[in-house]
A and B are shown apart, each in its own frame.
Chain A
Amino acid sequence: MSFRLKGDSLLKSTVAAAALAVVAMVIALGYEIYSGSGLSISRFGFSFLPGTVWDPVHEIFGALPFLYGTILTSILALLFGLPISLGVAIFLSEKAKGQKTFKYVIGTLVELLAAVPSVIYGLWGLFFLSPLLRQYVENPLHAYLGFVPLFSGTPFGLDFFTAGVILATMIIPTVSAVSRDILNAVPNSQREAMYSLGATNWEVIRRTVLPYARSGIFGATILGLGRAVGETMAVTMVIGNTPRITASLFSGGYTLSAVIANEFTEASSPLYLSALVEIGLVLFIVALTINVFARFLVWRLTRGTRMRV
């Protein structure tokens, strides 16, 4: 009997230690990044975030151009990616009823999109998408709407716009998979009630399913936003890597993650390195806030049903 109890508590404490290790890892992560940015924090204080100058030669470091680039590209990603993701989710949850195999194939393909490594998106973005967008989207937009600040500048292909499109492709699998689970969690009685009133499929979706799932879809969107904010390689390869704050979407830019990827191993002084670690700290805090918020929203809704991301 005592052997059995020993075995039980041994197993429990072993696996509990593993669970504890997960928590410890995140705490250590936060601590190391905070301590690594100490030099930069004590040197620049609160002027780091609103600082617009990034000058490694004179050791003046401000994060605003990168923050701006991250926010702008993430908004573009949501703008392009959200409608498509919602369409996919609606298709998988509300359309083609009974055609299970067909939907399974579509679902699998969309999931495969999430498995493609970021650097492959970058490679494709650099050599295929960027020239394509420049010629067929950016040039015409600039020619006809060039007076709008958004479309001013000389389209070069490696810019905020291309980064936004690449990011949109990358968040579609996440947002559509979570939204599909949210839509699946809407009780059928809601749909049946609408159908019995004579509604069409779209009316059921528009007036019952989507309103019911609203906060969950919002959560899925925020989760996608978190992905877009943290995405590094693909963005680094197509955004042009110039710290610039401008309204033009066709201008080269920079993001928080891209500047880390690009300059980290070249940082020649302790202060430069520390400033880059502080950029990482900013990214850490932004991503943490976004993710905790999104998880909370999604958890509240799909509690009880399974969720796959």
Chain B
Amino acid sequence: MTQGLGSGSIPSGRRYLDLLMTALVGVAVLLALIPLVLIVADVIIQGAPAINLSFLTNSPTPVNIPGGGIGPAIEGTSVMVGIATLISVPIGVGAGIFFSEWPESRLSTISSFTNDVLAEFPSIVIGIFVYVLIVLATHSFSAIAGAIALSVIMVPIVARTTEESLKIVPNTLREASMALGISRWKTVIRIVISTGKNGLATGILLAVARAAGETAPLLLTALGSTFFLTGLFQPTAALPLLIYTYATSPYQVWHEQAWGAALILVAFMLVLNLTVKLVIGRKFSEMRAEI
């Protein structure tokens, strides 16, 4: 950025300091990225040997019996994240529409601020909340309790991204639609939401990715299990719970399986995030750039 000045006009001490700081900034970027590279590499190297079809479909076995798998954990995570999505998407999208289309309302300000705070809540606190609310009341750890805990985590993410993607829909579109005599609710649903739908999809996918990896709240609500589901009101297995339990166990065999399960989880996470970034996100940001 010193173009036009001719770097010779700047005393060398200052120039060296500038170079030094640029180098330090570069080092900071490297230090920030090294963990990501190491984690992904480590998970692939240690996890890949464990993966095969029966590992993905079998039930866990006791330590001394080979052939244990993560089938119930995959099933439990899918079911709980699925139910949580069904609960959180209507609430999150609704709240997001309200924040974006009625920003002048006082409820909008309060709720939007609350939403931001909820998004940063320690997830374990949400686990305690659902434990007191559901587990104590039903006297059992369950898939339902786990799903409700996950939905509390998903709502603020969906609401925030919905708001953001609707806010960037130009007002001229709303005005044009209303000028044609189309009512406000139809304008919101047919014009605003359909224009911002990529952003909405982004938010939902990110929330699903986040929920699938959550461990702490499930520890207090779903508990974990080694069996496939036979109902929604019993302790339920989940992929992150299994990783935690196996990793902190003293057995080498379980450590290997924990890495295998971690590879599945990380792969799911990366695919979802990169899909959002590269496919939907790009269209989304192109749309933003056009505006």
Q: Which residues of A contact B (CB under 8 A)?
A: 4, 7-8, 10-12, 14-23, 25-26, 28-29, 32-33, 35-36, 83-88, 90-91, 95, 97, 106, 108-113, 115-124, 126-128, 169, 172, 176, 195, 198, 200-206, 223, 226-227, 229-233, 237, 257, 260-261, 264-265, 276-277, 280, 283-284, 287-288, 291-292, 295, 306, 308-309
Contacts and interface: CB of A to CB of B under 8 A. Distances in A.
B133 A32 contact: yes
B270 interface: yes
B114 interface: yes
A41 B110 CA distance: 30
B1 A7 contact: no
B94 A120 contact: no
Interface of B: 1-2, 5, 9-10, 14-15, 17-18, 21-22, 24-29, 31-33, 35-36, 38-39, 42-43, 46, 90-95, 97-99, 101-102, 105, 107-108, 110-129, 131-133, 152, 155-156, 159, 164, 183-186, 188-189, 209-210, 212-216, 219-220, 223, 240, 243-244, 247-248, 255, 258-259, 262, 265-266, 269-270, 273, 277
Contacts of B90: 18
Contact of A18 (B29, B94, B123, B210): B94
16 contacts: A18-B91, A19-B107, A20-B107, A84-B31, A87-B31, A115-B269, A118-B216, A119-B243, A119-B247, A123-B259, A124-B38, A124-B42, A205-B21, A223-B120, A230-B121, A264-B220
Nearest to A170: B35
Given A120-B213, A295-B113, A16 B1 contact: no
B262 to A, nearest CB: 6
B10 to A, nearest CB: 6
A242 to B, nearest CB: 15
Given A22-B155, A120-B243, A260 B185 contact: no
A112 B273 contact: yes
A23 B114 contact: yes
A198 B14 CA distance: 11
A91 B223 contact: no
Contact of A288 (B102, B105, B117): B117
B273 A229 contact: no
Given A91-B28, A226-B120, A116 B269 contact: yes
B121 A123 contact: no
B129 A33 contact: yes
A203 B18 contact: yes
A233 B28 contact: no
Nearest to A132: B38
Contacts of B113: 295
A233 B269 CA distance: 17
Contacts of B124: 230, 232, 257, 260-261, 280, 283
Contact of B123 (A28, A112, A230): A230
Contacts of A288: 117, 121
Contacts of B5: 198
Contact of A200 (B18, B128, B214): B18
Given A19-B98, A120-B39, A201 B1 contact: yes
Contacts of B216: 118, 232-233, 257, 261
A207 B15 CA distance: 15
A17 B102 CA distance: 13
The residue in A4, A19, A169, A291 that gathers the most chain B C-beta atoms within 10 A of its C-beta is A19
Given A19-B108, A87-B29, A124-B39, A287 B132 contact: no
Given A97-B1, A128-B42, A28 B129 contact: yes
B132 A32 contact: yes
A8 B129 contact: no
B128 A128 contact: no
Given A116-B36, A232-B123, 13 more contacts: A4-B183, A21-B91, A23-B107, A28-B129, A36-B128, A115-B213, A116-B266, A117-B240, A119-B265, A122-B244, A123-B247, A124-B43, A223-B120
Contact of A19 (B95, B117, B164, B185): B95
B248 to A, nearest CB: 6
A113 B247 contact: no
Given A26-B118, A233-B244, A15 B129 contact: no
B25 A15 contact: no
B118 A283 contact: no
Contacts of A17: 94
